Amino acid sequence: MGLLSKKIKSILLKQKKKYNFCFWEFPGGKVEENEYLIFSLKRELLEEVGIRILDFQTFESTTFFYKKMKLYFFLIKKWKGYAYSREGYLYRWVSHDHLKYFNFPAANYNVINLLEKIKFI
């Protein structure tokens, strides 16, 4: 998952609907078979929001036992292009101190708490 931050202290979120339920998440997706994690990050952000990552750092990983998956989060420090929806999802820049008011999948809350503690943006 890519944590894109702008200088105006906001982070990019994607709205997703599942089973008539709306929630927000960070842009990104699944690693394809035989794909390196970093290549997956770059591919997913290009496919979803049309940006090319220029600089990033690993932020956090978390295991979500319910779905038997591991999520990796990266701080995207610099990118080329303008972030826009390429797959029909609603995207929104949200102030970091407003993240707590959005409905996220359970696996994202640890990362959101860390972002608030370190004053990510």
Concatenating the DSSP letter of every residue in 78-91 gives: EEES----SSS-EE
73-103 pLDDT, tens digit per residue, is: 898 989 999 999 998 888 999 887 888 889 9
Please tell me the distance from the alpha carbon of residue 23 to that of residue 115, in angstroms, as a whole number. 19
Please tell me the distance from the alpha carbon of residue 88 to that of residue 57, in angstroms, as a whole number. 27
DSSP code for 52: E
2-118: CATH topology is: Nucleoside Triphosphate Pyrophosphohydrolase (3.90.79)
pTM score, whole prediction: 0.83
21-39 pLDDT, tens digit per residue, is: 788 998 988 889 999 999 9
Question: So what's the pLDDT on residue 114?
Answer: 82
